[in-house]
Amino acid sequence: MSQVKFERKEDIRITDTVGGSGGSQRGPSGGRGGPPPPPPPSQKGGLMHEAGEALTKGAGPDGYLAWYLRKLQEDPLRTKMITSGSLSALQEFLASWIAKDRNKSGHYFTSRVPKMAVYGAFVSAPLGHVMISLLQRLFAGRTSLKAKIMQILFSNLIIAPIQNAVYLTSMAVIAGARTFHQIRATVRAGFMPVMKVSWITSPIALAFAQAFLPHETWVPFFNIIGFFIGTYINAHTKKKRLQALRRKYSEGRSQDGRQDGRPDTRSEYDRRSGATGGY
**Per-residue pLDDT at 252:** 66
For residues 131 and 77, give the distance between their C-alpha atoms in angstroms, rounded to a whole number.
12
- Rounded to two decimals, what is the model's pTM? 0.66
**Per-residue pLDDT at 248:** 82
| CA pseudo-torsion sign 46, 49, 54, 60 | negative
**Per-residue pLDDT at 163:** 92
**Per-residue pLDDT at 195:** 92
**Per-residue pLDDT at 5:** 47
The torsion angle over the Cα atoms of residues 240, 245, 249 and 251, rounded to 10 degrees, is: 50
| Residues ≥6 apart with Cβ < 8 Å to 252 | 259
Low-confidence residues in the chain, pLDDT < 50: 1-31, 41-44, 58, 259, 265-267, 274-279
| Residues ≥6 apart with Cβ < 8 Å to 213 | 221
**Per-residue pLDDT at 33:** 54
**Per-residue pLDDT at 72:** 87
For residues 168 and 187, give the distance between their C-alpha atoms in angstroms, rounded to a whole number.
6
For residues 174 and 273, give the distance between their C-alpha atoms in angstroms, rounded to a whole number.
12
**Per-residue pLDDT at 215:** 79
**Per-residue pLDDT at 96:** 92
Cβ-count burial 114-142 (b if 16+ within 10 Å, e if not): ebbbebbbebbbebbbebbeebeeebeee
